[in-house]
């Protein structure tokens, strides 16, 4: 269980000025500026849950993860993870967590992968029986036997990521933090990594906190999503609720026989390419069938495609402070 209450992180920096006179004032008065990286953050995550934790760059996402992993100490507030404070009980706490940072490696670059695994086994004091059992599981899932005797520097990005995931689960952690686990991977490799993460989450019953800019990762892996912006939690609910938020407006791409002007109170043209138009309508006001009837009354329809708002578009609206930010918050 992860429990966070009224978490804050502030940084104090020297205030910078633009010219010599202002610089001399700075040297005299030494004015400082307080940066609020995280403000009054509260949430709970149950054991075994897989949660997407996302936000734009500079939102406080990385700062929060660093506090959860014990790398930095909060200015105020409480972090209770299975009865431990990460910053106050670092040695005991790190035995129960695993981490994967997409652009950083926990493997030794010039050593064969198997040597890194053995070193991690000793660091975490993994019993031989548990180590062998995990290695057999990882070999079945990740086909590690093909690559573990090669130096890390000789692996492709996809191969290295498979090894990184194995390394993060090698000591049976209770919580795993995944930061951009599929960054830079091709579609096939991404799908493979996602399936492995899902299986290990179910098999090991560990909590997984996923941070990524790839919304396909979030949709495929997580049932719950938390969105942070400007250091504050602005959304905390299910992926399904986000999808429902986008279902109010429907989008239709229509190929028509003739290039016509669409003038209708409840139908908005958002892209006009002559005979092809992309339109938007609120299906709570006007049905899809009625929209099609209205279009067919003025021209023949050659082809059409109907879809809701993409999840990326909804999240972008949450980032910029749309009214939807109140939905799902602090449930």
Give residues with Cβ within 8 angstroms of 280, minimum separation 6: 249, 250, 251, 252, 267, 268, 270
Res. 85: pLDDT tops 80: yes
Tokens of 268: 């908005």
pLDDT of amino acid 325: 39
**102 with 182: CB under 8 angstroms?**
yes
**42-243 and 248-308 agree in CATH topology:** no
Identify the residue whose tokens are 């999503």.
225
Fold of 42-243: Rossmann fold (3.40.50)
Task: List, in sequence order, the alpha helices (H) in the chain.
Answer: 20-29, 61-68, 90-94, 113-123, 128-142, 157-169, 187-204, 215-221, 239-245, 288-296, 311-319
CATH superfamily of 248-308: Alpha-L RNA-binding motif (3.30.70.1560)
In this predicted structure, what is the pLDDT of residue 107?
Answer: 94
Give bridge partners of residue 76 from the DSSP assignment. Answer: 8
Coil vs helix vs strand at 111: coil
For the chain, what is the mean pLDDT?
Answer: 87
| pTM (2 d.p.) | 0.76
Least confident among 73-77, 82-86, 240-244: 240-244
Give the separation between CA 230 and CA 39, rounded to whole angstroms: 8
Per-residue pLDDT tens over the stretch 35-75:
899 999 999 999 999 999 998 888 899 999 999 999 999 99
CA 297 to chain centre: 45
Q: Residue 57 — φ and ψ, nearest 5°?
A: -60, 135
Domain boundaries, the chain: 42-243, 248-308
pLDDT value of position 324 = 41
Quick check: 90 and 70 in contact, CB under 8 A?
A: yes
Q: Which helix (H) or strand (E) holds 80?
A: strand 76-81
d(CA 204, CA 192): 18
pLDDT tier, 250 (very low <50, low <70, confident <90, very high otherwise)? confident
**Is pLDDT of 158 > 90?**
no
pLDDT band at 308 (very low <50, low <70, confident <90, very high): low
Give pLDDT tens digits for 170-180.
999 999 999 98
Is the separation of the CB atoms in 149 and 133 below 8 Å?
no
CA 182 → CA 49, 177, 215, distances in Å? Answer: 20, 13, 11
Both ends of the chain: CA-CA distance in Å?
A: 17
């Amino acid at each position: 269980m992860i429990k966070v209450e009224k978490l804050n992180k502030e940084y104090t920096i020297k205030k910078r000025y633009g010219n010599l006179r202002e610089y001399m004032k700075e040297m005299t008065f030494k004015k400082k500026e307080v940066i609020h990286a995280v403000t009054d953050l509260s949430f709970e995550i149950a054991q075994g849950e897989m949660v997407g934790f996302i936000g734009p760059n500079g939102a406080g996402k990385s700062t929060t993860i660093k506090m959860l992993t014990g790398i930095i100490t909060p200015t105020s507030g409480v972090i209770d993870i299975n009865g431990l404070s990460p910053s106050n009980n670092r040695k005991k706490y790190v035995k129960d967590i695993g981490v994967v940072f997409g652009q950083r490696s926990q493997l030794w670059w010039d050593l064969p992968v198997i040597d890194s695994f053995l070193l991690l086994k000793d660091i975490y004091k993994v019993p031989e029986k548990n180590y062998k059992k995990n290695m057999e599981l990882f070999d079945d899932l990740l086909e590690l036997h093909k690559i573990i005797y090669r130096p890390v520097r000789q692996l492709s990005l996809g191969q290295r990521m498979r090894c990184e995931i194995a390394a993060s689960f090698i000591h049976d952690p209770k919580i795993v933090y995944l930061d951009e686990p599929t960054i830079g991977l091709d579609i096939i490799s991404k799908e493979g990594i996602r399936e492995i993460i899902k299986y290990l989450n179910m098999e090991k019953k560990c909590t997984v906190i996923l941070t990524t800019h790839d919304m396909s990762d979030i949709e495929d892996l997580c049932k719950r999503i938390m969105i942070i912006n400007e250091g504050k939690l602005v959304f905390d609910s299910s992926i399904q609720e986000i999808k429902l938020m986008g279902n109010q407006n429907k989008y239709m791409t229509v190929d028509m026989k003739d290039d016509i002007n669409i003038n209708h109170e409840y139908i908005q043209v958002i892209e006009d390419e002559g005979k092809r138009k992309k339109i938007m309508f609120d299906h709570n006001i006007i049905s899809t069938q009625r929209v099609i009837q209205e279009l067919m009354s003025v021209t023949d329809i050659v082809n059409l495609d109907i879809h809701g708002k993409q999840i990326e578009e909804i999240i972008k609206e949450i980032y910029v402070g749309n009214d939807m930010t109140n939905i799902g918050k602090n449930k």
